[in-house]
Structure 1
Amino acid sequence: MRPLISTTDLATLLEGPAGASPIVLDVRWRLAGPPGAESYREGHVPGAVFVDLDTTLAGEPGEGGRHPLPEPDELQRGLRAAGVRANHPVVVYDDADGSVAARAWWLLRWAGHTEVAVLDGGYAAWLAEDRPVSTETPRPAEGDIEVRPGGMPVLGADEAARLARDGVLFDARARERYAGETEPIDPRAGHIPGAVNAPFSGHVGADGRWLPPAELAARFAGLGVRPGGPVGAYCGSGVTASSVVLALEVAGHPEPAALYAGSWSHWSRDPERPAATGDLPG
């Protein structure tokens, strides 16, 4: 299954036989609110099941960061409750740009489930095309997915530091946070020394749809990515960095990029770890 799916293709699949339709997950979430569950109740893609990022797609915040990887058993329980079945396609969407949906995409891939795609343009694109919307909460049959971690590469802090020196480590946060000009959430400002700023907003156009593969490939080549070279990504808490991994796959990078799941919220907790500032990698 390709990592992105158009609104047209999703609508066609949803109009097909019920048993063949993909499981659709609504994972809308915003750092400053309002809660995605409220938006889901106001309207969603028909048949979509709401999955909460904070309670299902992440573990408890703490030493591992603000959105550490969930325990496999907990993730499996949440995905099964949403109706996710082994070898059955899943489509995930967020408000628009895929930066949150990419976390669900990444987790499913990490769990060993390859049949998953992000809705290009998200819920905003669905609404803009006057496609059907529902306020009904579905009751999906219990899924049978088995979470088997290891399907996607993961970095710890030391591995991220090495990759920043020996390969390409992307920081997906906005430039101001990367440069250390502001830090509204985490203990310290700045970035991992050697990391290259690649804000997740640069993967999409003004309408929230993803850039074509050739444009993404050119963007990453300009940022230092070479075919076969090691690449990784981090952000504030490991959510939007997943969109860098997705964008690299869309761009045709041959191997999955590694995700520093704890990201800056983990790195910055340790005062012994250095923090670079300014617009250069440092």
Structure 2
Amino acid sequence: MHDLVSTEWLAANGTAPGLRILDASYHVGLPGEPPRDAAADFAAGHLPGATFMDLAGFAEPGAPLPSTMPGATHFATLAGRLGLRADDRIVLYDDAPHRTAARAWVMLRAFGFGTVALLDGGWAKWKAEGRPLEQGASTPAPTTIDVTASGRGLLDLDGMRALHDGGATQIVDARSAARFTGAEADPRPGVAPGHIPGSRNLPYPQLFHPDGTWKQGAALAAAFTAAGVDLDRPLAMTCGSGITASVLAFGAHLLGREAPVYDGSWTEWGGDPTTPKATGEA
């Protein structure tokens, strides 16, 4: 199974033994975004055999920052409720503007799931092609998952400080140009405008074709290089809260480059009075 699978492939292989399909839709709910209920949307229609992941529930309980990656105990509990097994082959999709399946991809890999793919074009492409849908909730048989705390593919504040101070790693920011430059105020209270000094801006929608499918090969590489990113140097990804940074990390992965995601992202960095900040163009 490739890291990015087509709707044609999934239609032909969706019932294969050991293959799990997870709906990783999550709606961030920033100011100005219309409210949506991902669970209700799933119940109204989803891919055959899919399970609703409830990505919002996988955030660490009580964490001070939004969308914080779960600890091993919380992750294992929720993964067990989904009926996941360590050797599952997992295909993720979403129906969310922030491409949240990529966040689930980063999370599952961080906890040792080795065969995880995204559905190219996601829910929108599947539906547009008139493929079959199911309704109702999903009730998988629970399992017991043994996981250990893992930092694979993730950075905390200290890690990002070290990369920034070292200067060898390129920091790539997935937010809009207006939020990156500081022309637009941050939507979260107490968070400064701007970006991490020296970082590059690659708004995550630039990794997709107009039909919502991923750019690949030379077209995908061109999106990075147009943002001033040297794909032959180390990379680290950031955004507002670690969601769309995961989109950049998956895009880099498609190009054969591994890039960690700064989990706290700008919400943490911009809200910390001790961190350096910049405004304006990269």
TM over 0.5: yes
For residue 163 of structure 1, report the CA deviation from its aligned partner: 2.8
Give the one of 242, 254, 270 matched to 2:246. 242
Aligned AA (1:184): P
Q: Percent identity?
A: 36
CA distance in structure 1 between the partners assigned to 2:121 and 2:178 by the alignment:
25
Cα distance 1:15–1:110, how it changes in 2: closer, same or farther (>3 A)? closer
Which residue of structure 2 aligns with residue 185 of structure 1? 188
Q: How many pairs were matched up?
A: 272
- What do residues 134-180 of structure 1 show as CA deviations (whole Å, max 9, x unaligned)? 11323212234432343623222243244343221011111111111
Aligned pair partner of 1:51 in 53, 58, 66: 53
Report the alpha carbon displacement of residue 96 of structure 1 after superposing the two structures with TM.
Answer: 6.1
Matches within 5 A, 1:35-46: 35-46=37-48
Number of the residue aligned with 2:32: none
Change (3 A) 1:138 1:52: closer
Q: How does 1:105-254 map to 2 (within 5 A)?
A: 105-150=105-150, 152-164=152-164, 165-182=167-184, 183-186=186-189, 187-222=191-226, 223-227=228-232, 229-253=233-257
Q: Given residue 53 of structure 2, which amino acid in structure 1 is its aligned partner?
A: V
Q: Structure 1 regions of 5+ residues with no counterpart? A: none
Cα deviation code 1:45-96 (max 9, x no counterpart): 112111222212x213644x21111111111111111121111101111116
CA distance in 2, matches of 1:265, 1:53: 19
Alpha-carbon distance between aligned partners in 2 of 1:149 and 1:240, rounded to the nearest angstrom: 23
Q: Does structure 1 residue 31 correspond to structure 2 residue 28? A: yes
Letter matched to residue 249 of structure 1: H
Contact 2:45–2:135 at 8 Å: present in 1 too?
Answer: yes
CA 1:115–1:98: 2 relative to 1, 3 Å = farther
User: In 1, Cα distance between the equivalents of 2:150 and 2:63?
Assistant: 22
Answer whether contact 1:26 1:93 (CA < 8 A) is retained: yes
Q: What displacement does 1:238 show? A: 0.7
SS of the residue aligned with 1:244?
A: helix
1:8-87 to structure 2, matched below 5 A, reads: 8-16=8-16, 20=17, 22-32=19-29, 33-56=35-58, 58-60=59-61, 62-63=63-64, 65-87=65-87
Give the drift of 1:265.
1.1
> Would the alpha carbon gap of residues 62 and 190 (structure 1) be closer, same or farther in structure 2, given more than 3 Å must change?
farther
Check the 8 A contact 2:156/2:264 in 1, yes or no. Answer: yes
CA distance in 2, matches of 1:247, 1:206: 16
Deviation string, structure 1 residues 113-146 (Cα, Å, up to 9, x no partner): 1111111111001101111111132321223443
Structure 2, unaligned runs of 5 or more: 30-34
Shift of 1:97: 6.6
Shift of residue 218 of structure 1? 2.8
Give the letter aligned to residue 215 of structure 1: A
TM-score (norm 1): 0.90
Q: Is the 8 A contact 1:232 1:258 kept in 2?
A: yes
Change (3 A) 1:230 1:55: same
Name the amino acid aligned to 1:26: D
8 Å CA contact 1:102, 1:246 repeated in 2? yes
TM-score, length-scaled by structure 2 = 0.90
Over 3 Å counting, the alpha-carbon distance change for 1:88 and 1:251 in structure 2 is same
CA distance in 2, matches of 1:211, 1:156: 29
